[in-house]
Structure 1
Amino acid sequence: MKSWRFKEIVVMAALAVVFGVVYLAFLPVGGVLAGLMGPIGYDFIFGIWFIVSIIAAYIIQKPGAAFLSETIAAMIEVLLGNAVGPMLIVSGMIQGIGAEAVFAATRWRNYSTWVLMAAGMGSAVTSFIYGYFMSGFAALATGYVAAMFVVRLLSGALIAGLLGKALSEGLASTGVLSSFALGKQQRKKNAA
């Protein structure tokens, strides 16, 4: 297992704090969408709640980055006043496990667009299974639940995966990540 450098821990924690705030800020947006469309409304933007795991993993490229960043972001969200309370930390851990499992399947060596999208979908799968049992999805029509799952998968792939990739690469292009795995890859790519 690759050892973590202090600055990687700091950046991962900073990202988690920033996205803990972002996650809390998106709750009213999800509430409006759910008010307009029913429970599926949240699924359209659910990928936003997975994005830090993709960004941290892509920047740092070490085991645990996805899981830890998502867990810390959930803790920050709870500390800032999310009404769900401490159970939200469990939810963050479950989302982080979904992304981390995809990176683990590549032995933390592949951070291609497809893998980043699959990691977002991994978070969608684990969060949906958890939500199915904790949020009473079984009471909904099977077709509606299936539609919720598909929408959440797409949100994980597009918002967490693609948007997370774009944000990470945008940050790397500024040069502030030059000593991180992603920054080094960007430098090589630009030099070629």
Structure 2
Amino acid sequence: MANWRFKEIVVMAALSVVFGVVYLAFLPVGGVLVGFFGPIGYDFIFGIWFIVSIIVAYIIRKPGAAFLSETIAAMIEVLIGNAIGPMLIVTGMVQGIGAEAVFAATRWKNYSAWVLMAAGVGSAVTSFVYGYFMSGYAALAPEYVTAMFIVRMISGALIAGLLGKALSDGLAQTGVLSSFALGKEHRKKNAA
């Protein structure tokens, strides 16, 4: 973070706080879906829990942005009352590592829609592997577990990747991100 500007840190922290609240708010939605569909219910919307890593990385475009934002959001969620407690911070770190690995693979240079979707899938993969061991997925039928994994990857690509991109682009259109990498990219596109 040595080459981060103060305002980048502030924006990352602010977005992490906002999405920490959003993450907690979506738990009851997941609970309702589980009531209807069983354990796979959460996987339909699991991408929402990766979205801050995509948004912050897309806006700031610096190493560590995805990992740090997801970790901070998990910390906020714990502080405001997630019943899982401090272990949720580890979950946030695992999710952040999945997205960060994809951005690292591009050397933090490519933030196309495909890369953002891949980062959402990266979070889905790392979170699923972690969840497999921590949440007892091994007790479920292999076909069901495979379906959960596929649904979670799709959710990561669409909700975290594409919705995260759309929200960030919308924010950039307002001009509030004009001094950030995404804002500068939008300014160049609009000038062309």
Place the TM-score, normalised by the shorter chain, in its bin.
Answer: over 0.9
CA distance 1:61–1:2, change in 2 (3 Å): farther
Write the letter of the residue equivalent to 1:117. Answer: M
SS at match of 2:104: helix
Question: Within the alignment, does 1:182 sit opposite 2:182 as a pair?
Answer: yes
Match of 2:23 in 1: 23
Distance 1:55 1:73 in 2: 12
Q: 1:69–1:96: 8 Å Cα contact kept in structure 2?
A: yes
SS at match of 2:91: helix
SS at match of 1:177: coil
* Long gaps (5+) in structure 2: none
Distance 2:151 2:189 in 1: 34
CA distance 1:11–1:180, change in 2 (3 Å): same
Distance 1:163 1:184 in 2: 20
Distance 1:107 1:24 in 2: 32
Question: Within the alignment, does 1:71 sit opposite 2:74 as a pair?
Answer: no
Write the letter of the residue equivalent to 1:177. Answer: L
SS at match of 2:84: coil
Report matched runs for 1:123-142 at 5 Å: 123-142=123-142
Q: CA deviation at 1:126?
A: 0.1
Q: CA deviation at 1:2?
A: 7.2
Q: How many equivalent pairs are there?
A: 192
- The ranges of structure 1 where at least 4 consecutive aligned residues each deviate by more than 4 angstroms after the TM superposition are none
Tell me the TM-score normalized by structure 1. Answer: 0.99
Write the letter of the residue equivalent to 1:80. Answer: I
Tell me the TM-score normalized by structure 2. Answer: 0.99
Match of 2:60 in 1: 60
Write the letter of the residue equivalent to 2:107. Answer: R
Report matched runs for 1:1-192 at 5 Å: 3-192=3-192
Identity %: 86
Q: 1:2–1:62: 8 Å Cα contact kept in structure 2?
A: no
Distance 1:26 1:33 in 2: 11
Write the letter of the residue equivalent to 1:27. Answer: L
Q: CA deviation at 1:39?
A: 0.3
Q: CA deviation at 1:145?
A: 0.1
Q: CA deviation at 1:189?
A: 0.4
Write the letter of the residue equivalent to 2:160. Answer: A
